[in-house]
Amino acid sequence: MKKTELLVTPLSIDDILPLAEAGADAFVVGEQRFGLRLAGEFNREQVKQAIGLAQGQGKKVYVAVNAIFHNEKIEELSDYIKFASEAGADAIIFGDPAVLMTAREVAPDMKLHWSTETLGTNWFSCNYWGKKGAKRAVLAREINMDAIVEIKENAEVEIEVQVHGMSCMFQSKRSLLGNYYEYQGKVMEIENRKMEKNMFLHDKERENKYPIFEDENGTHIMSPNDICIIDELQDMLEAGVDCFKIDGILKSPEYLLAVTKAYREAIDLYFEDADLYEDKKDELLEAIEEIQPATRKLDTGFFFKETVY
């Protein structure tokens, strides 16, 4: 059985080599003009550097071109996809058919990963985009473990699943902080609004803090907890899920490095002997719990629940 790929979203160029040494098999990089909710901003020169560093260690680099594109950006796609291809990217991550159609024209050999954040909920959709040219489908974070396994059993493309990090629970193309209050129908406080990477919506009733992530693609309200299923990987590993993703958005390099090492050990133990993973998984979870910020609890997301927010 092919070993499951461990995909990590680095914060900067400086993270590539340490994360590769920690066990990451692949990286997602890009710039917010073309990519959605990136952990770090990589300009074109940095994308080239990331590809050179990663591939020099036998790792892969996927360039994110999965933003929501309006008419004024369409003309830019051809040049950016050409750039990614010439830079040697191993794949392009896309959600908009415009990206797929442009890639067919300017980089027909480029591998494509379909990722729409929310629409990868059934194997029919995965296979539809596979017939259009996608080699991988990134599943939505709002489906449970049984659905993931069923999709993998019927998919004709590779399947990627996020196993760690925060999720986006609300997005708008607008600067939405004021309007979000009306959407909730209640009064909530904005904390640390002046600090771009340290802003929260504070829901005192539920004692939750929702991180606010703003970029060129709009306002993103993130989940109050982090997904962590390092102790619940068996079913997906047994089913042959192709890729596990660790999302580094709003995380420190040190945290991301430690989590990558833990999931690397979990995957390697399972493929060596499933019983070894079973014996060690609680210890691996405890190690992550020790470094988890007190303000962000760990949970299993939608893997075993109908809803988490």
- The CATH number assigned to the domain holding 247 equals 3.20.20.70
- Pairing state of beta strands 226-228 and 298-299? parallel
Nearest to 36 by CA among 113, 117, 121: 117
Shared domain for 203 and 58, answered yes or no, is no
Q: Is residue 309 situated within a structural domain?
A: no
Shared domain for 126 and 209, answered yes or no, is no
Shared domain for 254 and 233, answered yes or no, is yes
Report the number of distinct structural domains present in the chain.
2
Shared domain for 82 and 148, answered yes or no, is yes
**Residue range of the domain that includes 186:** 170-222
For residue 189, the model assigns a pLDDT of 46
Shared domain for 290 and 258, answered yes or no, is yes
Average pLDDT of 237-241?
A: 97
Q: What is the pLDDT of residues 129-153, one digit of tens each?
A: 999 999 999 999 889 999 999 999 9
Q: Is residue 304 situated within a structural domain?
A: no
Helices (H), 26-70: 44-56
Shared domain for 127 and 207, answered yes or no, is no
Q: Backbone phi, then psi, for 274, in 5-degree steps?
A: -55, -30
Q: 120 in helix, strand or coil? A: coil
Shared domain for 159 and 208, answered yes or no, is no
Shared domain for 206 and 99, answered yes or no, is no
Q: What is the pLDDT of residues 58-77, one digit of tens each?
A: 999 999 999 889 899 999 99
Shared domain for 68 and 136, answered yes or no, is yes
**Hey, what long-range contacts does 150-153 have (CB within 8 A, 24 or more apart)?**
150/123, 151/122, 151/123, 151/126, 152/236, 152/239, 152/240, 152/241, 153/123, 153/239
Is the pLDDT at 192 greater than 50? The verdict is no
Rounded Cα distance, 144 and 113, in Å: 21
| Structure-model confidence comparison of residues 194 and 80, the more confident one | 80
Q: 238 in helix, strand or coil? A: helix
Q: Is residue 51 situated within a structural domain?
A: yes
Q: What is the pLDDT of residues 99-127, one digit of tens each?
A: 999 999 999 999 999 998 778 999 999 99
Torsion sign, CA atoms 106, 111, 116, 120: positive
Shared domain for 71 and 84, answered yes or no, is yes
Largest CA distance in the chain: 54
Q: Is residue 305 situated within a structural domain?
A: no
Q: What is the pLDDT of residues 268-288, one digit of tens each?
A: 999 999 999 999 999 999 999
Asked if 212 contacts 222 with a C-beta cutoff of 8 angstroms, the reply is: yes
Asked if 137 contacts 125 with a C-beta cutoff of 8 angstroms, the reply is: yes
Which residues make Cβ contacts (< 8 Å) with residue 26, sequence separation at least 6? 5, 6, 7, 8, 54, 59, 60, 61, 62, 90, 243
Which residue bears the tokens 């990868």? 120
Query: Which tokens go with 247?
Result: 């999302």
Q: What's the 3-state SS for 121-185?
A: CCHHHHHHHHHHCCCEEECCCCCCHHHHHHHHHHCCCEEEEEEEECCEEEEECCCCHHHHHHHHC
